[in-house]
């Protein structure tokens, strides 16, 4: 890489944005409902509590009882009704069972049709992440073009930097590909 402050800044920004894109995809995949009980599905649910909105994961313990059942054990039992309502409104496709002490969420067995639907959804999320990576690459290339136009870098230096950008983005793309294929395999396994 060329010794240039703007190039270094662009390179760091490219890596940071790419890392964030991968983390976002992994977060989205974690919240994707499979046939197994996964506490991550509740990460984005907010409950009306104490005069404001609080994340469900901050209000109690969420544990996995078995392969298909989650248990939500709230620290404040007066929030059971509000939590049950928030889970119903979140459209995760699971009906909570409130026994007056804890909330149980039982995941139904997934059909082949539902699995294929989830694989499609996972592929779309993966494609969106790839598009984001391509946009990060384009932004980095634009910075290099401006540096070339303003004569801050020579053509050879720009060509070297462009090769580095391609190499960096290719690495992140292959990481994305492996995450996507692993998720598809997980969704299709019974």
pLDDT number for residue 65: 85
pLDDT single digits (tens) 90-119: 877 788 888 888 999 888 777 888 788 888
pLDDT single digits (tens) 58-83: 888 888 888 788 898 989 888 889 98
pLDDT number for residue 41: 80
Top-level class of domain 39-106? alpha beta
pTM for this prediction = 0.70
d(C-alpha 70, C-alpha 118), whole Å: 20
Q: Give the tokens for residue 134.
A: 């391509």
pLDDT number for residue 126: 93
**Domain range summary for the chain, segments of one domain joined by +:** 5-31+111-188, 39-106
pLDDT number for residue 118: 84
The domain over range 5-31+111-188 is classified in CATH as 1.10.132.20: yes
Residues 73, 79, 83, 85, CA torsion sign: positive
Q: Which residues of the chain have pLDDT under 50?
A: none
């Amino acid at each position: 890489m060329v010794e240039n402050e703007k190039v270094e800044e662009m390179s760091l920004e490219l890596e940071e944005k790419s890392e964030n894109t991968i983390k976002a995809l992994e977060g989205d995949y974690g919240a994707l409902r499979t046939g197994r009980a996964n506490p991550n599905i509740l990460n984005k649910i907010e409950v009306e509590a104490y005069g404001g909105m609080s994340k469900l994961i901050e209000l109690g313990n969420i544990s996995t009882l078995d392969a298909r059942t989650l248990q939500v054990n709230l620290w404040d039992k007066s929030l059971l009704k509000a939590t049950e309502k928030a889970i119903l409104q979140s459209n995760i496709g699971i009906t909570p069972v409130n026994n007056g002490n804890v909330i149980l969420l039982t995941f139904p067995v997934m059909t082949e049709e539902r699995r294929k639907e989830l694989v499609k959804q996972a592929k779309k999320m993966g494609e969106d992440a790839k598009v984001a990576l391509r946009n990060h690459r384009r932004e980095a290339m634009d910075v290099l073009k401006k540096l070339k136009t303003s004569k801050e870098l020579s053509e050879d230096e720009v060509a070297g930097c462009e090769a580095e950008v391609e190499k960096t983005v290719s690495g992140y793309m292959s990481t994305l590909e492996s995450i996507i294929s692993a998720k598809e395999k997980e969704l299709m396994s019974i």
